[in-house]
């Protein structure tokens, strides 16, 4: 079965931009069902307890639940928690999960609960990254794997020129983390960094173009950034789809991901 057909079966009837974004993510190593990995080097399966800190709408939690993990979802937004819970409750087989509305100060999870901890695009929002990291270290079992992401400073530097001031104010991005600072927070919590990665030029450009629409960040967030009828954004999605279809399209994608990635990613482990 082709990659595109697999994606369509998984996401249908998701809008085109999410389909393209998912395809781009899979090509970078996300959502690897064949290897039972959420991301390359982050396997998930039966017997794992995964805590998704800042779960949002629960896409990552859904994938991990489908791989057999017991999932604990935490987010500060009650509406998002309700939507994520409904998403998992609707899955075949009724996977084991629980959900909590929390500011993660502290996390509503007992010490040493998780074998996997996931926190994507959260640390740039919080008042105390150190506290958040220490809480995530606390809830992991010895040997637990961690996957952290936050915006890459290269992409954020571009947003400084085009985004409104609200983008860099509460409750949005209150800080831009350099690669060094991101790693320091992880290591200061007592975790060991195993590898570092970057990805997401597609979404870096999408966000850069988004600001030309005049749509507020609040409205876009409410719609999960699904904004049909925006020719510039629609054309960008089609351009990226066309690039990925070219014989050397993946090589070009990789070069652009390195040039201006949307996110930086750290895989870490709690010492035994």
What would the pLDDT profile of 9-30 be if each residue is shown by its tens digit? 444 444 455 688 889 999 999 9
Kindly state the average pLDDT of the residues 192-216: 95
Percentage of the residues of the chain whose pLDDT score is greater than 90: 84
Please give the Cα distance from 44 to 35 (Å, whole number): 9
Whether the CB-CB separation of 150 and 173 falls below 8 Å is answered with no
Please give the Cα distance from 17 to 239 (Å, whole number): 11
pTM: 0.92
Please give the Cα distance from 208 to 190 (Å, whole number): 36
**Full residue range of the structural domain in which residue 250 is found:** 3-269
What CATH number did the domain enclosing 78 receive? Answer: 3.40.50.150
Please give the Cα distance from 115 to 139 (Å, whole number): 9
Please give the Cα distance from 158 to 139 (Å, whole number): 35
What would the pLDDT profile of 126-148 be if each residue is shown by its tens digit? 999 999 999 999 999 999 999 99
Whether the CB-CB separation of 249 and 194 falls below 8 Å is answered with no
For strand 114-120 and strand 97-101, is the pairing parallel, antiparallel, or unpaired? Answer: unpaired
Please give the Cα distance from 116 to 139 (Å, whole number): 10
Q: How many independent structural domains does the chain possess? A: 1
Find, among 42, 19, 24, the residue nearest to 267 by Cα. 42
- Tokens for 20? 């393209």
What would the pLDDT profile of 147-187 be if each residue is shown by its tens digit? 999 999 999 999 999 999 999 999 999 999 999 999 999 99
């Amino acid at each position: 079965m082709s990659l595109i057909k697999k994606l369509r079966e998984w996401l249908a009837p998701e809008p085109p931009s999410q389909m393209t974004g998912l395809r781009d993510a899979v090509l970078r190593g996300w959502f690897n069902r064949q290897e039972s990995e959420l991301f390359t080097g982050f396997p998930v399966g039966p017997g794992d307890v995964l805590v998704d800190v800042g779960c949002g709408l629960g896409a990552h939690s859904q994938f991990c639940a489908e791989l057999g993990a017991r999932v604990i979802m935490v987010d500060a937004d009650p509406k998002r928690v309700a939507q994520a819970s409904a998403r998992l409750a609707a899955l075949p087989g009724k996977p084991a999960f629980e959900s909590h509305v929390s500011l993660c100060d502290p996390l509503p999870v007992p010490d040493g609960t998780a074998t996997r901890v996931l926190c994507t695009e959260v640390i740039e929002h919080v008042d105390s990254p150190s506290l958040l990291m220490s809480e995530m270290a606390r809830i992991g079992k010895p040997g637990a794997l961690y996957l952290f992401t936050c915006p890459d400073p290269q992409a954020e530097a571009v947003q400084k020129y085009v985004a409104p001031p609200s983008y860099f104010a509460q409750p949005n991005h209150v800080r831009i983390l350099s690669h060094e600072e991101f790693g320091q927070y992880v290591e200061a919590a007592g975790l060991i960094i195993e590898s570092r990665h970057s990805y997401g030029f597609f979404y870096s450009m999408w966000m850069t173009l988004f600001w030309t629409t005049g749509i507020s960040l609040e409205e876009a967030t409410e719609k999960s950034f699904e904004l049909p009828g925006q020719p510039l954004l629609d054309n960008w999605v089609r351009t990226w789809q066309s690039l990925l279809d070219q014989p050397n399209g993946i090589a070009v994608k990789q070069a652009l991901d390195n040039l201006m990635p949307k996110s930086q990613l750290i895989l870490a482990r709690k010492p035994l």
